[in-house]
Amino acid sequence: MTETDNLTQLGARVETPASPEAAILETVPYTRGEGPPAIVRFTCPEFTSLCPVTGQPDFAHIVIDYAPDAALVESKSLKLFMVSFRNHGAFHEDCTVMIGRRVIEATKPLWLRIAGYWYPRGGIPIDVFWQTGAPPEGAWLPDTGVAPYRGRG
């Protein structure tokens, strides 16, 4: 049985954090085992943040892939962290990389890749990609599954 006594959010009524900085990413222990590492994927197709200049909402499809070592990010805490960006003003690049860095800080994975597919504002979509290095040898790493933006046609 996985040890969950340290979790404060799972199974509890929790308010949305006021900011990404205030959000707590919780983890649960993970035993990697033999063979190639597993790749864990989180997909957030309705991510929202605010433009730091205009205050208008920005929308993205975020895909996080990571190879856990000794800890997994607990998914409810990740959801609360992601939703905390709804009132956070930052550029697309900053939001995307901040998410990746926070998951790394919490879980200390073998490897992480994050892709932010930002919907157009002003006619230009922005896609942001960041990773910690080469994927682990032998790990199966599927495509992110998000097609490049092609407009309506």
74 labeled binding residue: yes
Is 95 designated active site?
no
75 labeled binding residue: yes
15 labeled binding residue: no
19 labeled binding residue: no
Residue in 51, 69, 94, 127 annotated catalytic:
51
Residue in 44, 58, 65, 95 annotated catalytic:
58
Is 51 designated active site?
yes
Three-state secondary structure of the chain = CCCCCCCCCCCCCCCCCCCCCCCCCCEEECCCCCCCCCCEEEEEEEEEEECCCCCCEEEEEEEEEEECCCEEECHHHHHHHHHHHHHCECCHHHHHHHHHHHHHHHHCCCEEEEEEEEEEECCEEEEEEEECCCCCCCCCCCCCCCCCCCCCC
93 labeled binding residue: yes
Which residue ranges make up the annotated binding site for substrate? 73-75, 92-93
Residues noted as catalytic: 51, 58
Which residue ranges make up the annotated binding site? 73-75, 92-93
